[in-house]
A and B are shown apart, each in its own frame.
Chain A
Amino acid sequence: MGRRRVAGTIYDISLIGRKEVRQLWRDKASLTLTFLIPVAILLAFGLTIPSSSSLAAADVPIRVTVCDFDNTALSHDFVTILGNSTSFDLTLQGDANKARSDVEWGIYSAAIIIPEGFAVNLTRRPYPANISIIVIEDDSKSFMAEMVESEVANATQIFMKAIGLEYKANVKLTEDKLSGRDLTFRSTTAAPVMGIALIFGCFDDAAGSMARERERGTFSRLLLTPINRFSIFMGKTIASLILTVVRTSLLLLVLVCYLNLTIVGSLLLVFLIALLIDTTTVALGFAISSRAKSTRSVVIAQIAIMIPLIFLTGVLRPPEAMPEYARGLVNVIPYTYANDAFRRVVNLGQGIEFIMNDIIVLLGATVILFIIAAVMMKRSIV
């Protein structure tokens, strides 16, 4: 009797298993995503995490500017060694204030200032004095400060060895961090992670809601009224915006009270960025929901889109540290700009002028995605 029961159970299990495979096989879109999602996640992970043993190593040269105020043979040698580094794409300039401004605006990831007296201090006898090199770094980007400092320290060691002063003199790196604080890894990633968290909620406001309406027949009911597609989109968007204000407030509470994050910049700007994330995601959700067969398809699409975003939008690693081919992809994802905006406002306290580009990109993405959604919905009205 026991054996028959076991055999029966095994048979039932195989029946259900085969049914599941058959159903998935017939939903080719979901089937494709089921295989593509894990691959995409790993690929995105590979783009983010460097191949070297150190998280702080850059796989590609990052843009760095050097101001050589010493202008001696020794300082030139040092600049040459810095330039030979595979981690730096070095540019010389002569204005320290401009160099700092360039780092603030993101033109360069860091600026290295070789002060006047560099060579004099190195050649002083009987003992060379401590020599200071100033590194202006954007520490709000994950691992950026560590990458720069690590490479400068490396170059310094090579230089000191070359001039026979290894172990005889100390070259001190004076960090001039844009944030003015000691930002931890948690601090640099918390704000972008909040952005990703918002995306999850906003996506369901649109895509999930539309898929549910289609499944239940209420969307057809709406289409039988004089209401146009624009009104449906806008109505749902406004509802989502209200929810996003509440979501953002809750997330900020968690960030501040639980994660001990300090929000340096304007809270209004934080909410503005959150609302732009909402409009972009809602528009994306509408576009996807016009093709989604069911709420299940929407969930799969949500995972397919959202999880790679954690790796591809500068949360764990700044885009400038990613390979060229990845940067191309990263730069077309609107959320890269949302995370950039969050980082600037939350960690650096920068104002609207610094995030204007990000705002324009998010607004543009919203408009384009809404247009796509409107066109796609027209073709699949039932």
Chain B
Amino acid sequence: MAEAAVSIENLTKKFGDIVAVDHINIDIKKGEIFGLLGPNGAGKTTTIRMLCTLLEPTEGTAKVAGYDIRKQPAEVRRNIGVVSEGVDLYGDLTARENLILFGKLFGVPKKILMKKINDLLGFIGLTDRADDLVSTFSTGMRKKTLIVSSLIHSPKLLYLDEVTSGLDPQTAVSVRDLTRQLRDQGITVLWTTHYLDEPEKICDRIGIIYDGRILALGTPKEVKSVASISVTIEMTLDKHPSRECLDYIKNLDGVIAVRSSGTVLNTTVHNHEASLGRIIENLNTNRIKILDIAKRGSSLEEAFLKLIADASAKESGKIEKEIERLRKEIIEAMDKIKVE
């Protein structure tokens, strides 16, 4: 089996009592775009910071491009590029000056450095702004310059931490296109985001992180199936369905939710093949014609929300059990006192 580009083993980070990253295990394959999806405070940036050696793990370790983040941090840094919150360019230097500085710090030979800078600036369409101060750049331009500055030393891995955050849709699309091109050139990308629709657009595999823990890992399709997600059937009818008709559909086995808006009926079901037949039968009985029918697949957003809801339920279930146990202990203790 080919060595993973990044191999994370029981990686944990605690800040006092707060567990920001809780024993995560991930293998990121070479040449893939791996998405780490989670809400704010889930542990994405903390994970990135440990993987780029800016933060020391509390437990566990990781191997990045074959180098241990604890034992060989300098080698790790040589093989990664990072675009993350709290990592920025010098606003009072020009784009070119920033790239020259970081190129030289990474030991890029002088002979190839200038050509590489010109190529990279051309890649992001900023050749004509190369000699302008970075502080004069728009957010999108700055983000693109940050990306190419992290590529100046030809790293094997690129960490893009919420890189589309704050960008307009057009610029976000161009950043995603840029990322795909980098993947096609053989660079492995770790992409973190809290935008739920983004990983499906760009990532080969994703990991859903919540409260410092990985809830699911795999391709977007695999993650959705882990979440046991339902399907929504959208039907356009020739007339409004009656209250009785809707109640009947709602009470069918496998039907999760029914929404009616005018003549459009949306039914969310677990097993759409079994449910669809009974719904159509009911509509026929009520003399309602189906003009159009479409199956709307479950989205990653729904998978994500379900996984988090399940995780929270498990957590609150644990808490309830704990409360019950304590309640019993108190009652036993009080009974003992009464007897004495």
Where the two chains meet, the residues of A that have a C-beta atom closer than 8 Å to any C-beta of B are 216-218, 220-227, 381-382
Contact A226 to B91, CB < 8 A, known contacts A217-B86, A382-B49, A382-B55: no
Asked if A225 and B88 sit within 8 Å, CB to CB, the answer is no
Asked if A226 and B88 sit within 8 Å, CB to CB, the answer is no
Q: Which residues of A contact B74 (CB under 8 A)?
A: 226
Asked if A221 and B78 sit within 8 Å, CB to CB, the answer is no
Asked if B54 and A226 sit within 8 Å, CB to CB, the answer is no
Which B30-65 residues have a C-beta within 8 angstroms of A? 49, 52, 54-56
Asked if A224 and B88 sit within 8 Å, CB to CB, the answer is no
A218, A381, A382: residue with the most chain B Cβ atoms closer than 10 Å: A218
Task: Give B88's nearest chain A residue, CB to CB.
Answer: A217
Asked if A220 and B77 sit within 8 Å, CB to CB, the answer is no
Asked if A227 and B105 sit within 8 Å, CB to CB, the answer is yes
Asked if A220 and B54 sit within 8 Å, CB to CB, the answer is yes
Where the two chains meet, the residues of B that have a C-beta atom closer than 8 Å to any C-beta of A are 49, 52, 54-56, 74, 77-78, 80, 82, 85-91, 102, 105-107
Q: How far is the CA of A216 from the CA of B93 in the complex (A)?
A: 13
Q: Which residues of A contact B106 (CB under 8 A)?
A: 225-226
Asked if A226 and B77 sit within 8 Å, CB to CB, the answer is yes
Asked if B88 and A216 sit within 8 Å, CB to CB, the answer is yes
Q: Which residues of A contact B91 (CB under 8 A)?
A: 216
Contact A226 to B55, CB < 8 A, known contacts A217-B88, A218-B88, A221-B88: no
List 18 contacting pairs A-B, 8 Å CB cutoff, sorted by A. Answer: A216-B88, A216-B91, A217-B88, A218-B88, A220-B86, A220-B88, A221-B88, A221-B89, A223-B54, A224-B54, A224-B82, A224-B87, A225-B106, A226-B74, A226-B106, A226-B107, A382-B54, A382-B55
Q: How far is the CA of A226 from the CA of B77 in the complex (A)?
A: 7
Q: Is the interface of B mostly helix, strand, loop or mixed?
A: loop
Known: A217-B85, A217-B86, A382-B49. 14 other contacts (CB 8 A): A216-B90, A218-B88, A220-B86, A220-B87, A224-B80, A224-B82, A224-B87, A225-B77, A225-B102, A225-B105, A226-B78, A226-B105, A226-B106, A382-B86
Q: How far is the CA of A75 from the CA of B198 in the complex (A)?
A: 99
Asked if A221 and B87 sit within 8 Å, CB to CB, the answer is yes
Q: Which residues of A contact B89 (CB under 8 A)?
A: 218, 221
Q: How far is the CA of A95 from the CA of B130 in the complex (A)?
A: 75
**Which 9 pairs show the lowest CB-CB distances between chains A and B?**
A217-B88, A225-B105, A220-B87, A217-B86, A221-B87, A382-B54, A217-B87, A218-B90, A227-B105
Q: How far is the CA of A141 from the CA of B198 in the complex (A)?
A: 72
Q: Which residues of B contact A227 (CB under 8 A)?
A: 105
Q: Which residues of B contact A220 (CB under 8 A)?
A: 54, 86-88
A220, A221, A222, A382: residue with the most chain B Cβ atoms closer than 10 Å: A221
Q: How far is the CA of A220 from the CA of B150 in the complex (A)?
A: 13
Q: Which residues of A contact B86 (CB under 8 A)?
A: 217, 220, 382
Whole-angstrom distance between the Cβ of B77 and the nearest chain A Cβ: 6
Task: Give B150's nearest chain A residue, CB to CB.
Answer: A224
Whole-angstrom distance between the Cβ of A359 and the nearest chain B Cβ: 34
Asked if A224 and B52 sit within 8 Å, CB to CB, the answer is yes
Task: Give B159's nearest chain A residue, CB to CB.
Answer: A224
Whole-angstrom distance between the Cβ of B305 and the nearest chain A Cβ: 32
Q: Which residues of A contact B85 (CB under 8 A)?
A: 217
Whole-angstrom distance between the Cβ of A55 and the nearest chain B Cβ: 48
Whole-angstrom distance between the Cβ of B121 and the nearest chain A Cβ: 18
Whole-angstrom distance between the Cβ of B222 and the nearest chain A Cβ: 33
Q: Which residues of A contact B78 (CB under 8 A)?
A: 226
Whole-angstrom distance between the Cβ of A263 and the nearest chain B Cβ: 37
Whole-angstrom distance between the Cβ of A298 and the nearest chain B Cβ: 18
Q: Which residues of A contact B52 (CB under 8 A)?
A: 224
Q: How far is the CA of A144 from the CA of B78 in the complex (A)?
A: 61
B49, B78, B87: residue with the most chain A Cβ atoms closer than 10 Å: B87
Whole-angstrom distance between the Cβ of B301 and the nearest chain A Cβ: 30
Task: Give A217's nearest chain B residue, CB to CB.
Answer: B88
Q: Which residues of B contact A222 (CB under 8 A)?
A: 105
Q: Which residues of A contact B90 (CB under 8 A)?
A: 216, 218
Q: How far is the CA of A216 from the CA of B92 in the complex (A)?
A: 11
Whole-angstrom distance between the Cβ of B306 and the nearest chain A Cβ: 34
Whole-angstrom distance between the Cβ of B137 and the nearest chain A Cβ: 14
Q: How far is the CA of A217 from the CA of B84 in the complex (A)?
A: 9
Q: Which residues of A contact B80 (CB under 8 A)?
A: 224
Q: How far is the CA of A221 from the CA of B89 in the complex (A)?
A: 7
Q: How far is the CA of A294 from the CA of B54 in the complex (A)?
A: 19
Task: Give A216's nearest chain B residue, CB to CB.
Answer: B88
B80, B82, B105: residue with the most chain A Cβ atoms closer than 10 Å: B105
Q: How far is the CA of A381 from the CA of B53 in the complex (A)?
A: 10
Q: How far is the CA of A289 from the CA of B298 in the complex (A)?
A: 51
Q: Which residues of B contact A223 (CB under 8 A)?
A: 54
Whole-angstrom distance between the Cβ of B227 and the nearest chain A Cβ: 34
Q: How far is the CA of A220 from the CA of B83 in the complex (A)?
A: 11
Whole-angstrom distance between the Cβ of A221 and the nearest chain B Cβ: 5
Q: How far is the CA of A216 from the CA of B142 in the complex (A)?
A: 14
Whole-angstrom distance between the Cβ of B256 and the nearest chain A Cβ: 45
Task: Give A225's nearest chain B residue, CB to CB.
Answer: B105
Q: How far is the CA of A256 from the CA of B235 in the complex (A)?
A: 93
Q: How far is the CA of A381 from the CA of B50 in the complex (A)?
A: 12
Q: How far is the CA of A279 from the CA of B254 in the complex (A)?
A: 76
Q: Which residues of B contact A381 (CB under 8 A)?
A: 54-56
Q: How far is the CA of A222 from the CA of B52 in the complex (A)?
A: 12
Whole-angstrom distance between the Cβ of B175 and the nearest chain A Cβ: 19
Q: How far is the CA of A220 from the CA of B146 in the complex (A)?
A: 13
Whole-angstrom distance between the Cβ of B73 and the nearest chain A Cβ: 10
Task: Give A213's nearest chain B residue, CB to CB.
Answer: B90
Q: How far is the CA of A371 from the CA of B85 in the complex (A)?
A: 30
Task: Give B82's nearest chain A residue, CB to CB.
Answer: A224
Q: Which residues of B contact A218 (CB under 8 A)?
A: 88-90
Whole-angstrom distance between the Cβ of A205 and the nearest chain B Cβ: 16
Q: How far is the CA of A265 from the CA of B206 in the complex (A)?
A: 72
Task: Give B77's nearest chain A residue, CB to CB.
Answer: A224
Q: How far is the CA of A223 from the CA of B106 in the complex (A)?
A: 11
Whole-angstrom distance between the Cβ of A118 and the nearest chain B Cβ: 72
Q: How far is the CA of A218 from the CA of B49 in the complex (A)?
A: 15
Q: Which residues of A contact B105 (CB under 8 A)?
A: 222, 225-227
A218, A223, A224: residue with the most chain B Cβ atoms closer than 10 Å: A224
